[in-house]
Amino acid sequence: MDSKTPDTHDAQLNLSMEKNGANPLVHQIIKFGLTGMANVGIDLSVYILLLHLGLEIWLAKTFAFIVGTIFAYLVNKKWTFNDASGSHRKIFAVFTLYIFAMIINVGLNSFCISILGDNLAGKIIAYIFAVIPSAAVNFLGMKYIFRVSKSTQTEGL
């Protein structure tokens, strides 16, 4: 049985990718994208459910975004960015990032619906236009918050 921890394995994989000419950033983007696809499914499902239950659009979008970002935080922290720390500083930084991304997401969603109309097609298009910029903000912010130095990556090799 392999005694390597998942963190050590991911660090070794990143170093191996660098040696073989692969870009670890691409690896992170792929993981972030896969997590994001799962997150969109969760976010959209909660959003549709809450709209069906009669919540206001902005409130349904806010709750759906919160549920999705909790999922995304947990998965991205450990899997995408290989961060096992539980530092209060990082938790606060991610919380702040999510608030900023949520404002962008909910604001763009509401703005697009005001232009496209309060119909199913308008809501779907607005949802897509809201997700893309907030996902970019989340990736860049999390990349910064969970950055790993070369010396940390090589520990345990």
Chain segment 48-104, per-residue pLDDT in tens: 999 999 999 989 988 998 898 788 888 988 888 888 776 778 878 888 998 899 899
Asked, for residue 139, whether it belongs to a domain, the answer is: yes
Asked, for residue 50, whether it belongs to a domain, the answer is: yes
Asked, for residue 132, whether it belongs to a domain, the answer is: yes
Structural domain that includes position 30: 6-149
pTM over 0.85: no
Total count of domains within the chain = 1
| pLDDT above 70 for 43 | yes
| pLDDT above 90 for 109 | yes
For residue 68, which of 10, 109, 28, 27 has the smallest C-alpha distance? 109
**pLDDT score for 81:** 87
**pLDDT score for 55:** 96
Tokens found for residue 152: 């940390």
Alpha-carbon torsion angle 63, 109, 122, 140, nearest 10: -100
Asked, for residue 156, whether it belongs to a domain, the answer is: no
The set of residues, in sequence order, having a beta carbon less than 8 Å from that of 17 and lying 6+ positions away, is: 23, 24, 27
Asked, for residue 65, whether it belongs to a domain, the answer is: yes
When pLDDT is averaged across residues 125-138 and rounded to a whole number, the result is 91
